[in-house]
Amino acid sequence: MKIVEVRHPLVQHKLGLMRRADNNTKTFRELSAEVATLLTYEATSDLETEDAQVEGWAGPVSVRRIKGRKITLVPILRAGLGMLPGVLELIPAAKVSVVGIRRDEASLAPLPYYENLVGGMQDRIALILDPMLATGGTLIATVSMLKAAGATRIKGLFLVAAPEGLRALETAHPDVEVYTAAIDERLNEKGYILPGLGDAGDKIFGTRVV
Ligand SMILES: O=P(O)(O)OC[C@H]1O[C@H](OP(=O)(O)OP(=O)(O)O)[C@H](O)[C@@H]1O
Ligand SMILES: O=c1cc[nH]c(=O)[nH]1
Ligand SMILES: [Mg+2]
């Protein structure tokens, strides 16, 4: 399975700022979007391009343009919405497929509650957005949903991933590519990533600070 831990200095610096316990909602939200932009740059580095000609200021110019499959962004509600503005900075025309899944706090099982996918999934690259890949249950459920709709090329962007979740994904869907700013140490007894970021959804939406 392709797993890319993005070591770019800007990513590492911004993730380091995100780990501070004293961030306010505005700071955490801004940093989520900024790191998402940088992960997008990395995750799209293998898009196919083709030759084209445009009319330049001094006549025709040969240029390169992106060819082939269109992208759909797949933010997982709610926390994935925090990454969406940053990804749209680089792919402003992308169609957005929204998936709603939350974890049951006791069992950690994924509970799907919303699905609104764009059409033509078989012809698209799906870019899943979620700040946290913990047990992997939410991601695996999302990938299954996308595959059931016809998706064959799926990448996931995460601010932080746990080794447990990566292993679970490898067993369930080894064809999915993962781009993350950090592979952290482990999960705690409540399924939170250590050292992690705490509850990313609560921090992005300002509902509770853990
Ligand atoms: O890998 P997993 O163990 O499945 O956990 C990861 C999921 O948990 C969090 O969502 P949460 O359930 O807190 O929902 P929220 O985004 O609405 O806060 C996070 O944003 C992921 O979607
Ligand atoms: O560490 C974690 C795990 C799941 N969800 C979060 O928001 N944080
Ligand atoms: Mg949450």
ipTM: 0.98
Residue 138 domain flag: yes
Residue 117 domain flag: yes
Mutate to test the pocket of ligand 2, among 192, 194, 202, 203 (most ligand atoms within 8 A of CB): 192
Residue 210 domain flag: no
Q: Which ligand is nearest to the CA of 169?
A: 1
Residue 186 domain flag: yes
Residue 61 domain flag: yes
| pTM higher than 0.95 | yes
CATH of the domain at 113: 3.40.50.2020
Q: Which residues of 146-179 are buried (b: 16+ CB within 10 A; e: fewer)?
A: bbebebebbbbbbbbbbebbbebbeeebeebbbb
User: In whole angstroms, how far apart are CA 69 and each of 40, 42, 133?
Assistant: 16, 17, 26
Residue 25 domain flag: yes
Please give the distance, rounded to the nearest whole angstrom, from the Cα atom of residue 108 to the centre of ligand 2.
Answer: 11
- The protein residue whose alpha carbon is closest to atom 6 in ligand 2 is 199
- 170 is in which domain, residue-wise? 3-205
Give pLDDT tens digits for 147-161.
Answer: 999 999 999 999 999
Is the pLDDT at 209 greater than 60? The verdict is no
Residue 42 domain flag: yes
Report the atom number in ligand 2 closest to the C-alpha of 194: 1
Ligand 2, pocket residues at CB < 6 Å: 79, 132, 134, 191-193, 196, 199-201
Say how many domains are in the chain.
1
Give pLDDT tens digits for 96-135.
Answer: 999 999 999 999 999 999 999 999 999 999 999 999 999 9
